[in-house]
Structure 1
Amino acid sequence: MADTTTPIPRTSWLARIDRVWLAIGIIVLLVALIDTAQVDDVLIFAAKALAGTMPFIAFAVLAIAYLKATGAENLLAKAFEGNPARMIVMAALLGGLSPFCSCEVIPFIAALLAVGAPLGAVMAFWLASPLMDPAMFAITTGAISMEFALAKTVAAIALGMFGGFGTLLLSGTPVFTNPLREKPAVGGCCGVKAPFSAKPVWKFWRDSDRVAIFRSAGLENATFLLKWLTLAYVIEGLMVFYMPADLIANVLGGTGIGTIMLGALVGMPAYLNGYAAAPLIGDLLDQGMANGAAMSFMIAGGVSSIPAAIAVWALVKPRVFAAYLGFALTGSILAGMAWQLMA
């Protein structure tokens, strides 16, 4: 009798390895093969930089875990109540401070659009949300400076308002007429079924389920931050030992608007991850990168990063997505000019 059981496909060992850790291993191996004498210096540099950032990582992990366990993100729904102008301001403020991960943004925004939230307020939240959160603030402070982290927070909120009010003013134009691909349904990944129905429980430790959420969120985010920051600091080590400071100063130095525009244009396609970008930008600043170019790079890249952009592309038509990118590019250049003047 023939065996009719369907064989279970085996996953190769390579597919099971995290791509970030794999990239770190490949970089270190290449340095060891090409310049053996330098590999220890790169690893020591990365280890010291990671150790110096560890208090900020710990704060970020605990802050995110607490917000997840208490359900504090449900308070964001209040930003989408009232008149449109108030909604835009509140959405930008809360978007720039919320602990949303990329997979939660889609169901949350889908639910808001499903119940008729104005596109201007949604646009404000969309633009501000990927740029700053408690973890990002802590990592940026440790890798660059408190001043830069505060400036980026202000820039995130300002960009949200810029896009939100721009959308409100242009709401009658063909760009924003019938903007949705289809009417979205409430629900999505991460267990987000009705993102603004439950009330936060601040004393979460009295509930075993919320304690489990705190534990899992803390472990997940600790792993996430450690791997991305390790990659960032290994790359930073390569930059310190191999990239001439004069090159950075010549290409991204100076105070002109051209440098700031270049930072934004390079940042949009080249941005990997906000947590990894912070230490790399910190090193580039030390090597002569202009302050304004650093800010425009961080703002433009954060909004156009793949997780953030997918959330928008999945729900709205291409012309609205193009407007989203247009607001991001224009706002990032304005933020870079403002920070260049202040810094």
Structure 2
Amino acid sequence: MIDTAIPHKPNPTFEGLKRNKVWLASITILILLAILSPAQARFSLAFTLDALLHTAPFLILSIAIAAWAGATGADSLIARVFTGSPLLMIGLAALAGGLSPFCSCGVIPLIAALLSMGVPLSAVMAFWLASPIMDPSMFVLTTGVLGTEFAIAKTLAAIGLGVMGGLVIYLLARGGALADPLRAGIGNGGCGASNLRTPQPVVWKFWTAPERRAKFGREAVKTTLFLAKWLVLAFLLESLMLTFVPAEVIANTLGGTGIGPIALATVVGVPAYLNGYAALPLIGGMLEQGMAPGAGLAFLVAGGVTSLPAAIAVWALVRPKVFTLYIALSLSGAFLCGLLFQTWMGS
């Protein structure tokens, strides 16, 4: 018998949503709200659109920065900071990590290349700890959502955490510890190693080259979609938090000026952290409801370095003792940064 059934053609839009769980989560939230509480659905949708409109100028600038860095090849300059004396390398690596436009997919293979080629773990750790916390586009977005003061504090926290971690690793390594930090089989460096092994010249006038103009467009679209999906989810969650989380709960849990709220925010930041961009509006809403500024900074720093994707990547790359040090340095550094920021804000 001939099968005359019409073959099923999957809907490409639906299939794309199934693969992109962030967009699917946002749509699911809106659908559930529309069914269970239409008024809340209207409020959440209006809140999200208004928040996106408010941050649009900063989004456009951050997208342009990310696309420009990729199109010009400016990220290849990062390899030049890993030369010189160990202490100088730690400082430069922390500065580069806090200011560079590297994304998580580019940092991990570059770290593997640096370690496999003999760059000291102290300098690599300084860059590694600072990189997830701040970059130029993150600085712009943090300024738009939390203010310039918070953005500067977060930048200093990134650099300070990198320097602290690098110095600790340097002292431990001088005693003979931490030899051969990479797991067995890791060491080819992946695609990110090309910036170190064969650095390409930076083309500042990228628009003169068709392939670089095309790359600028691809990077702009990729960054736009990346930011949009996380910020939409974050603003939706913030709208729900404003409605269902009483202000006094936030104030009582993470408010105040003692070390307790900062310590709690440091620990809570690990499982509760969504994404560097998504966390900003969430922290903004919590600050408005009474969260201590130091606790907010501790949450962002700890969550940025120890978020699940970052932790999994580190675990897959280095030996357990290095991973343990990475987590310990992240949490202790985040707590110290939050405590210093809270002290400064209260002075």
Could you say which TM-score interval applies, normalised by the shorter chain? over 0.9
Equivalent residue number for residue 194 of structure 1: 194
Which residue identity does 2:195 align to in structure 1? P
Q: Is the 8 A contact 2:112 2:182 kept in 1?
A: no
Report the Cα offset of residue 236 of structure 1: 0.8
Displacement, 1:319? 0.8
Answer yes or no: is the 8 Å Cα contact 1:68–1:213 preserved in 2: yes
Tell me the distance in 2 between the aligned counterparts of 1:342 and 1:265: 22
Deviation at residue 188 of structure 1 after TM alignment = 2.3
Q: Alpha-carbon deviation of 1:311? A: 3.4
> Which amino acid in the other structure matches residue 144 of structure 1?
L
CA deviation map 1:84-131 (0-9, x unaligned): 000000000000011111111122112111211000000000000000
Q: Which of 276-285 and 20-29 deviates more?
A: 20-29
Which of 270, 275, 281 is the matching residue for 1:279? 281
Structure 2 Cα separation of the partners of residues 305 and 332 of structure 1: 13
**Preserved CA contact (<8 Å) 2:116 2:189:** no
Q: CA deviation at 1:308?
A: 2.4
Deviates more, 1:34-43 or 1:325-334: 34-43
What is the CA-CA distance between 1:318 and the residue it aligns to? 0.7
Residue-by-residue CA offset, 1:214-259 (whole Å, 9 max, x unaligned): 1100110011101111111111111112211011001111111111
Whole-Å Cα distance in 2 between the matches of residues 337 and 22 of structure 1?
A: 37
State how many pairs are aligned.
335
The match for 1:319 among 318, 321, 332 is: 321
Q: Contact 1:232–1:280 (CA<8 Å) still a contact in 2?
A: yes
Superposition pairs of residues 279-298 of structure 1, within 5 angstroms:
279-298=281-300
Partner SS state of residue 299, structure 1: helix
Q: Which residues in structure 2 correspond to 1:85-164 (within 5 Å)?
A: 85-164=87-166
Q: 1:260-280 CA distances to partner (integer Å, 9 max, x unpaired)?
A: 000000001221100000000
Structure (1/2) with the larger helix percentage: 2
The 5-angstrom pairing of residues 1-343 of structure 1 reads 15-17=15-17, 18-173=20-175, 176-182=178-184, 184-189=186-191, 192-196=192-196, 197-343=199-345
Q: 1:249, 1:89 → 2: CA distance? A: 37
Counterpart residue identity of residue 70, structure 1:
T
Task: Work out the CA distance in 2 between the residues paired with 1:175 and 1:12.
Answer: 53
Change (3 A) 1:175 1:235: farther
- Return the alpha-carbon distance in structure 2 between the equivalents of residues 278 and 323 of structure 1: 27
Equivalent residue letter for 2:139: F
In 1, the alpha carbon distance for the partners of 2:36 and 2:249 equals 22
* Preserved CA contact (<8 Å) 2:122 2:170: yes
CA distances 1:59-83 after superposition (whole Å, capped 9, x unpaired): 0000111111111111111110001
Q: CA deviation at 1:187?
A: 4.3
C-alpha distance in structure 1 between counterparts of 2:264 and 2:152, whole Å: 23
For 1:188 and 1:274, how far apart are their aligned partners in 2?
A: 24
1:95–1:38: structure 2 CA closer, same or farther, 3 Å change rule?
Answer: same
Q: Which runs of 4+ in 1 moved over 4 A?
A: 9-15, 172-175
Aligned counterparts of 2:236 and 2:173: Cα–Cα separation in 1: 46
User: 1:181 and 1:10, CA in 2 relative to 1: closer, same or farther beyond 3 A?
Assistant: farther
Aligned to 2:4: none
Which residue identity does 2:152 align to in structure 1? Answer: L
Equivalent AA in structure 2 for residue 16 of structure 1: G
Residue 5 of structure 2: aligned partner: none
**For residues 143 and 165 of structure 1, what CA distance do their matches in structure 2 show?**
32
Check conservation: 2:287, 2:296, Cα contact below 8 A: yes
Corresponding letter in the other structure for 1:338: L
**1:3 counterpart residue number:** none
RMSD: 2.0
Report which stretch shifted further, 204-213 or 270-279: 204-213
- Cα separation, 2, equivalents of 1:53 and 1:155: 23
Check 1:78–1:271 CA distance in 2 against 1; reply closer, same or farther (3 A cut): same
SS in 1 for 2:113: helix
When structure 1 is superposed on structure 2, of 16-25 and 53-62 the one drifting more is 16-25
